[in-house]
């Protein structure tokens, strides 16, 4: 989506890119809303079924690695979004931040489950991220002036 948005700006100039930015921002906002629904659904099912996170060595390695990688990636995306004034790229950076936080929640949930037997921690902690997703999704959907500070 962002490659498309940037290629339109390169081909047609900034006047046309404003409409494209708005469309890309709405798509990104919609994706954040969809991610919020997914997180709610997954957490709800986990709580309903009394099912905690499942452990696998490749999964924990991926989750632990994703935390700093997504942090660094989101910081770069936010910097570029600020330079371009792109709400769509900012929303994409928020998706990267969310990925890092969800990875942190997985690691926290697995640790709490292992140490305390608290199967519910993963689901409850992931629900805390939903407010952030909805807030950022709404801002991207409404297409307010980019405030990437």
The tens place of each residue's pLDDT in the chain, 149 residues long, gives 767 777 777 777 666 667 777 888 898 889 989 999 999 999 999 999 998 877 889 989 999 999 999 999 999 999 988 988 888 888 889 889 989 988 998 898 888 888 998 889 888 888 988 998 898 889 888 876 554 44
Distance CA 35, CA 31 (A): 6
Distance CA 76, CA 42 (A): 29
Contact at 8 Å (CB) between 60 and 113?
no
What is the sign of the dihedral through the CA atoms of 54, 55, 59 and 64? Answer: positive
CATH numbers and ranges of domains, the chain: 2-142 (1.20.1510.10)
Contact at 8 Å (CB) between 22 and 5?
no
């Amino acid at each position: 989506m962002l490659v498309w948005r940037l290629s339109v700006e390169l081909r047609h100039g900034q006047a046309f890119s404003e409409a494209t930015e708005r469309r890309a921002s709405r798509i990104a906002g919609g994706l954040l809303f969809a991610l919020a629904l997914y997180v709610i659904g997954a957490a709800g099912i986990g709580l309903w079924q009394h099912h905690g996170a499942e452990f696998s060595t490749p999964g924990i390695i991926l989750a632990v690695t994703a935390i700093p990688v997504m942090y660094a990636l989101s910081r770069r995306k936010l910097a570029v979004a600020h330079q371009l004034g792109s709400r769509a790229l900012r929303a994409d950076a928020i998706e990267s931040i969310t990925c890092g936080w969800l990875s942190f929640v997985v690691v926290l949930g697995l640790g709490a489950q292992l140490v305390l037997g608290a199967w519910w921690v993963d689901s409850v902690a992931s629900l805390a991220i939903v407010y952030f997703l909805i807030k950022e999704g709404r801002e991207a959907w409404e297409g307010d002036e980019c405030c990437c500070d």
